[in-house]
Amino acid sequence: MTKVADDALRTAVTDLMPLASEIFDDIRTASLDDEGVTRPAWSEQDQAAADILLMAARAEGLATRQDAIGNAYADLEGSDPTAPAILSGSHLDSVARGGNFDGLAGAVAAVIALAAVRRTGIVPGCRLTAMGTRCEESVWYGIAYVGARLAVGAMERSEFDNLVRLDSKHSIADHMADQGLRVDEIWQGDPIVTATNTKAFLELHIEQGPLLVEQDAPLAVATAIRGNLRHGDGVCHGAYQHSAATPRRLRQDTVLAVTELLGRLEALWHEIEDSDDPSAVFTVGKLFTDPDHHALTKVPGECHFSLNFGSTEQHTLDRARDAIAALTEDIARRRNVRFVLGDAVGSSPTPLDLALRAKLHDNADRRAIPCQEFATVGHDASIFARAGIPAAVLLVRNADGSHNPDEKMAMADFEQGVQVLAATMVELAGS
Ligand SMILES: [Zn+2]
């Protein structure tokens, strides 16, 4: 890109910020809940988000379309219509009473980036496409990334047919039909997004942790998407016994057994983090005894807990799995209790594309925008990466986390993100 074109693109992005704010506000209004916003996957609210976004795209001269399952797209044609496209976007749905920017920021950023390129008169070498996906959040149907998975052809019909919305108890097909979507078409012909028709996928997303606030930087390029190893409903079985009458050697105390397990797993986590894998995280989200049976004067005979390891390194997840097996066996034998962990569920870590990461960094550097680098959590980008499309994630500073109405992303930080995104898309498209 020439210096003149680069400067024009920068100005166009800045000029488009009022439009971005307007899109965010209109979509917030269309999905307001008692607190925060609620945009269930395949609902009036996430369809309204798609409609508002695509209307804004059309007003900027972009072509728009929706696929058979309602993923929303805006296109800016390039000089070579047969060349694989550069795709950018994120999800339109939200959790219940969540924040407006989780997901939506990436879909809006992509549309604004395309509008900015069009306003400057730059003709990219290939098509640039902005995408708003449906159903990234797992809270609605129990699994994440449904829209992205259907778009890349990574979901079997049988798996789809079994999906039921957790609150309404209606099937996913019913909810799609309510939105007038022609579901069957998604399995006819080739997938919509493939490694053949798409050269790269870039996702801008708000950061969901506190690192950018701590590091005082507006942006980060994600190194990889963490995989995880989870036991959602672990139980330790022992015996309810008299608290004063039972000597230690005869106790089957499940709370002390579980807390020993958790303490030793935390020590393992520290060791992994300190030695070779700073991306490792460990969370015990649930820990409780049965209120119908527990009492101040009883040895606790049953204790429930969850285990959740995350890492960008498969060897860390393997190590955690082996440690859980060895520790539960050792503790059960010594303390005369029994652990039932159920099946482990989880996902593999997803590496992100080195060349794309470098380009995002270069464009931030060129604009003198401070840009950090660290691992991130699950995003649609992992689905595109697994479909063989080089993918990268650009994180934007956001105070107070996400999946809650308190999330805060400053529009000034968002603008920095769109600056980097637009320049990188143009660079990748060539001319
Ligand atoms: Zn998200």
Domain boundary pick from 315, 347, 379: 347
* Total domains, the chain: 2
Average pLDDT of the chain is: 95
Whether residues 91 and 204 share a domain: the answer is yes
* Tokens (6 digits) for 278: 């700073």
Q: Please give the distance, rounded to the nearest whole angstrom, from the Cα atom of residue 137 to the centre of ligand 1.
A: 7
Give the residue numbers spanning the domain of 319.
227-347
* Tokens (6 digits) for 175: 């909810």
Q: Please give the distance, rounded to the nearest whole angstrom, from the Cα atom of residue 297 to the centre of ligand 1.
A: 45
Q: Please give the distance, rounded to the nearest whole angstrom, from the Cα atom of residue 93 to the centre of ligand 1.
A: 8
Q: Please give the distance, rounded to the nearest whole angstrom, from the Cα atom of residue 323 to the centre of ligand 1.
A: 31
Whether residues 42 and 173 share a domain: the answer is yes
Whether residues 18 and 84 share a domain: the answer is yes
pLDDT of 288 reads 98
Distances (CA, A) of 100 to 28, 31, 171, 228: 6, 9, 26, 26
Whether residues 109 and 24 share a domain: the answer is yes
Domain boundary pick from 294, 327, 347: 347
pLDDT tens sequence across 366-386: 999 999 999 999 899 999 999
Whether residues 213 and 90 share a domain: the answer is yes
Neighbouring C-alpha atoms within 13 Å toward the C-beta of 278: 4
Whether residues 194 and 265 share a domain: the answer is no
pTM for this structure?
Answer: 0.92
Q: What number is the average pLDDT over the span 391-417? A: 93
Q: Please give the distance, rounded to the nearest whole angstrom, from the Cα atom of residue 102 to the centre of ligand 1.
A: 5
Q: Please give the distance, rounded to the nearest whole angstrom, from the Cα atom of residue 60 to the centre of ligand 1.
A: 26
Whether residues 77 and 165 share a domain: the answer is yes
Q: Please give the distance, rounded to the nearest whole angstrom, from the Cα atom of residue 73 to the centre of ligand 1.
A: 18
Domain boundary pick from 347, 373, 398: 347
Q: What is the CATH number of the domain that holds 288?
A: 3.30.70.360
Give the three-class secondary structure for 308. strand
Q: Please give the distance, rounded to the nearest whole angstrom, from the Cα atom of residue 81 to the centre of ligand 1.
A: 31
Q: Please give the distance, rounded to the nearest whole angstrom, from the Cα atom of residue 422 to the centre of ligand 1.
A: 20
pLDDT of 207 higher than 90: yes
Q: Please give the distance, rounded to the nearest whole angstrom, from the Cα atom of residue 360 to the centre of ligand 1.
A: 20
Q: What number is the average pLDDT over the span 411-420? A: 98
Whether residues 358 and 423 share a domain: the answer is yes
Specify the residue for token string 């219940």: 96
pLDDT tens sequence across 153-200: 999 999 999 999 999 999 999 999 999 988 888 888 889 999 999 999
Whether residues 7 and 37 share a domain: the answer is yes
pLDDT tens sequence across 216-267: 999 999 999 999 999 999 999 999 999 999 999 999 999 999 999 999 999 9
* Phi-psi group of 329: left, alpha or beta (phi > 0 → left; psi -120 to 50 → alpha; rest → beta): alpha
Q: What is the CATH number of the domain that holds 212?
A: 3.40.630.10
Whether residues 122 and 136 share a domain: the answer is yes
pLDDT of 188 reads 87
Task: Please report the beta strands in 298-416, taking only residues with DSSP state E, as ranges in sequence order.
Answer: 298-299, 302-311, 338-340, 345-347, 350-351, 371-376, 391-396
Whether residues 57 and 183 share a domain: the answer is yes
Whether residues 81 and 213 share a domain: the answer is yes
Q: Please give the distance, rounded to the nearest whole angstrom, from the Cα atom of residue 22 to the centre of ligand 1.
A: 20
- Residue 206 pLDDT class (50, 70, 90 cuts): very high
pLDDT of 346 reads 87
* Tokens (6 digits) for 366: 């060129």
